[in-house]
C-alpha cells in the first residue's frame, strides 16, 4: 500500500513538473505515518498532510528568507490542498479546516511578533501543531487518542524544530517542551 507521504511526494512532483532548482519541500513523516494508521479517506489524509506541508514550507521561507520561487511553491501547495479538499466534498470538514488555517496563522503571527508570554507558548505551539490532525481525526476517526497524538507531535517537535520557532534559544525550547508535556499529561 502506498503511504500518504509517498502519494503527496508524487503529487508535488507532478505539480512542479518543469520547475527547476527549488528548495526542498519538507513533508512531516510522523504526521503521515500517524494518518496512515487510521482507516480514513485518502483525501482526508492528503488534505491534512498537504496543508501542514504548505504551511511549514511558507514558515521556512519566512525564517530563512529564501527565494520568491519558494513563496510561489508554498502557494502552489496551498492551492493543491484546496483541490484535494474539493475532491473530498465534505463541507463540514472544509469549514473546520479552513477556519483552523486562520487560527494557526494568527498563532504563528503572534509568536513571530512576541505577543505570547513564554508561559503560554507551549499551549500555543501544541495548538499550532495538533489542530489539523485533530480536526481530521475528530471528523473521520472520532475515537482517536488525542493524548497519543500530542505525544507523537511533541516528539517530532523535539527532533525537528518548526521554522516558526527558530528565533528561540534552546533554553526557551526546553521550557516550551516542558509546558507541552505538562499540558499533555494533565489531560
| Nearest alpha carbon to residue 101 among 128, 77, 138 | 128
Residue 163: DSSP 8-state: G
**Sequence spans of domains, the chain:** 4-186
- Residue-wise pLDDT tens for the chain (187 aa)? 799 999 999 999 898 887 766 678 899 999 999 999 999 999 999 999 999 999 998 888 766 655 666 777 888 899 999 999 999 999 999 999 999 999 999 999 999 999 999 999 999 999 999 999 999 999 999 999 999 999 999 999 999 999 999 999 999 999 999 999 999 998 6
| pTM of this structure | 0.92
Q: What is the pLDDT of residue 69?
A: 66
For residue 186, how many C-alpha atoms fall within 13 Å in the half-sphere facing its CB?
7
CB atoms within 10 A of CB 135: 18
Classified by CATH at the fold level, domain 4-186 comes out as 1.20.120
Confidence at residue 165, expressed as pLDDT on a 0 to 100 scale? 95
Helices 91-112/68-88 angle, 10° precision: 150
Amino acid at each position: 500500500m502506498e503511504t500518504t507521504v509517498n502519494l503527496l511526494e508524487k503529487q508535488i512532483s507532478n505539480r512542479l513538473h518543469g520547475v527547476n532548482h527549488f528548495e526542498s519541500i519538507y513533508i512531516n513523516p510522523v504526521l503521515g505515518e500517524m494518518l496512515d494508521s487510521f482507516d480514513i479517506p485518502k483525501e482526508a489524509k492528503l488534505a491534512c498532510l498537504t496543508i501542514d506541508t504548505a504551511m511549514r514550507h511558507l514558515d521556512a521561507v519566512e525564517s530563512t528568507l529564501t527565494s520568491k520561487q519558494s513563496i510561489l511553491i508554498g502557494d502552489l501547495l496551498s492551492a493543491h490542498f484546496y483541490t484535494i479538499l474539493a475532491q473530498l466534498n465534505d463541507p463540514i470538514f472544509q469549514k473546520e479546516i479552513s477556519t483552523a488555517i486562520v487560527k494557526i496563522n494568527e498563532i504563528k503571527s503572534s509568536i513571530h511578533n512576541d505577543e505570547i508570554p513564554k508561559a503560554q507558548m507551549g499551549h500555543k505551539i501544541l495548538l499550532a501543531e495538533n489542530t489539523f490532525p485533530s480536526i481530521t481525526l475528530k471528523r473521520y476517526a472520532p475515537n482517536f487518542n488525542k493524548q497519543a497524538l500530542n505525544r507523537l507531535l511533541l516528539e517530532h517537535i523535539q527532533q525537528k524544530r518548526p521554522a516558526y520557532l527558530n528565533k528561540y534559544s534552546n533554553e526557551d525550547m526546553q521550557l516550551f517542551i516542558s509546558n507541552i508535556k505538562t499540558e499533555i499529561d494533565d489531560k
